């Protein structure tokens, strides 16, 4: 589980109130935190990184990982103490729990931690101004957790206060797959896609603010079927082609995908659309057919292998990433070896791996033959070692290539004028004498690869000018 702060809002003159948002979990939560800051900005809230000075604190939670809720309760205890200290000096602090833990355990949160003022699910954070106003007046209704994503996006302010040349863009929410280990269908609701026009409008505004790369987000983003202007349904491939026509938007990514939703049209787009980056996160979760059936994944290992072959035929240089769960109920040693075999055959450029942990209310939580934690831990260590070996080998293989790098932030070594960017394969690239190029896409000669990053040097006169992402200016980034 990752924890991040919502990006800084643009500085407001003498802000009256301070907002602190702590974000747990996935990129969709990062996007949601940005939008929460947007809806609260008209009320006079400016983002702060000092939680002790905040007038309003939001914990934007994730319910996927083990002990997620208990971690939130521990954090809430610390916030209650901070609020007590502020009240002793005449101040106050409003505390809210948002996100998937709020959706799943709203009433329980209010019962266990009375210090919480507001509980709001992921589909209702556009109601924060109203809920905050009610709380300030009379501590009235404090739970807003209905599933109404269309209402949410309609209610969000048009302006987004983004920083840097990359941005997340939610296009799809919810899940209809009902994997037996997953709480998403219960916390995010059914699959729902934003209308195509709404997505394109937000993308144009982002490009106008200097964003050159967008990552399209969804629980099953490749199930996207937003309404087109003519009333018909659009596919993710159609959306990608439309986004590629926006001037200044040069790179498109998407996450997270489900193997059952990798349509032929989307696979073909990876070979035809230069703006669509050659990096695909396509979780498989396990390598055993029996375990995949128990997970209700609705695909087997051979279908996954065939899918990878078709994707690589369309785009031979594509990097594949995945997700894995080890120690699923009933998993045998042989079935775990099937997962290792799948990993060796696919050869991943990156992956996330976790030991199974029961999520309350999911079918898998009630299954028999739960794997002993120590066994699951040992399997996880073996899987991570193999995945790390593959990722390192992929990075090392980039040495000697020339890759177009989008610089997005300064590096740690300011005395060397270092900047950090992303390769087409989502690798972190460190380059000296490049801090003046933040926001630009520049050819970089890769001189070395490490486990988690690349090192490179600039190629003179190689600046890539902004332009329609699908045009010649965004030519496919191949080896020099």
Model-level pTM greater than 0.75?
Answer: no
Buried/exposed 164-195: b ≥16 CB within 10 Å, e otherwise: bbbbbbbbbbbbebebbbbbbbbbbbebbbbb
Q: Which residues contact 265 (CB under 8 A, 6 or more apart)?
A: 235, 237, 238
Q: What is the mean pLDDT of residues 122-134?
A: 73
Given a cut of 60, whether residue 8 has pLDDT beyond it is: no
Task: Tell which wins on pLDDT, 466 or 231.
Answer: 231
- One DSSP character per residue, 327-389 reads S-TT--HHHHHHHHHHHHHH--SEEEEEE----TTSGGGG-SSPPPHHHHHHHHHHHHHHHHH
Residues of the chain above pLDDT 70, percent: 84
Q: What pLDDT shows up at residue 158?
A: 54
Task: List pLDDT tens digits, range 406-465.
Answer: 999 998 887 889 999 999 999 999 999 999 999 999 999 999 999 999 999 998 655 554
Task: List pLDDT tens digits, range 321-345.
Answer: 999 999 999 999 999 999 999 999 9
Task: List pLDDT tens digits, range 430-441.
Answer: 999 999 999 999
């Amino acid at each position: 589980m990752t924890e991040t702060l919502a990006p800084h809002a643009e500085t407001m003159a003498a802000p009256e109130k301070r907002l602190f948002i702590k974000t747990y979990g996935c990129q969709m939560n990062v996007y949601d935190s940005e939008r929460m800051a947007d809806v609260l900005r008209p009320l006079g809230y400016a983002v702060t990184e000092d939680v002790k000075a905040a007038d309003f604190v939001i914990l934007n939670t994730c319910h996927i990982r083990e002990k997620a809720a208990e971690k939130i309760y521990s954090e809430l205890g610390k916030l209650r103490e901070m609020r007590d200290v502020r009240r002793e000096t005449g101040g106050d602090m409003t505390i809210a729990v948002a996100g998937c833990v709020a959706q799943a355990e709203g009433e329980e949160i209010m019962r266990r931690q009375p210090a919480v003022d507001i509980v709001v699910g992921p589909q209702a954070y556009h109601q924060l101004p109203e809920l905050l106003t009610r709380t300030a007046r009379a501590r009235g209704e404090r739970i807003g957790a209905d599933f109404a994503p269309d209402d949410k996006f309609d209610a969000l302010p048009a302006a987004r206060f983004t920083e840097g040349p990359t941005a997340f863009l939610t296009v799809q929410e919810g899940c209809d797959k009902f994997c037996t280990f997953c709480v998403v269908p219960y916390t995010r609701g059914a699959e729902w896609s934003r209308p195509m026009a709404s997505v394109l409008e937000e993308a144009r505004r982002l490009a106008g603010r200097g964003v050159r790369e967008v990552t399209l987000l969804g629980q099953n983003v490749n199930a996207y079927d937003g309404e087109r202007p003519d009333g018909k349904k659009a596919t993710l491939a159609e959306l990608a082609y439309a986004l590629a026509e926006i001037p200044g938007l040069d790179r498109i990514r998407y996450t997270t995908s489900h193997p059952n939703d990798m349509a032929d049209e989307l696979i073909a787009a990876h070979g035809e659309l230069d703006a669509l980056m050659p990096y695909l996160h396509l979780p498989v979760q396990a390598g055993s057919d029996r375990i995949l059936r128990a997970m209700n994944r609705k695909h087997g290992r051979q279908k996954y292998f065939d899918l990878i072959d078709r994707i690589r035929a369309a785009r031979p240089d594509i990097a594949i990433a995945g997700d894995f769960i080890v120690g699923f109920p009933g998993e045998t040693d042989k079935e775990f070896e099937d997962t290792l075999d799948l990993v060796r055959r696919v050869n991943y450029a990156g992956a996330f791996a976790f030991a199974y942990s029961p999520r309350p209310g999911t079918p898998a939580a009630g299954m028999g033959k739960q794997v002993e934690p120590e066994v699951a831990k040992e399997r996880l260590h073996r899987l991570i070692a193999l995945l790390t070996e593959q990722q390192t080998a992929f990075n090392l293989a980039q040495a000697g290539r020339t890759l177009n790098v989008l610089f997005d932030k300064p590096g740690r070594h300011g005395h060397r004028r270092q900047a950090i960017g992303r390769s087409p394969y989502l690798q972190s690239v460190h380059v000296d004498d490049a801090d003046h190029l933040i926001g630009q896409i520049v050819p970089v000669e890769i001189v070395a690869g490490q486990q988690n990053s690349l090192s490179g040097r600039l190629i003179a006169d190689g600046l890539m000018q902004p332009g329609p992402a699908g045009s010649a200016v965004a030519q496919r980034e191949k080896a020099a």
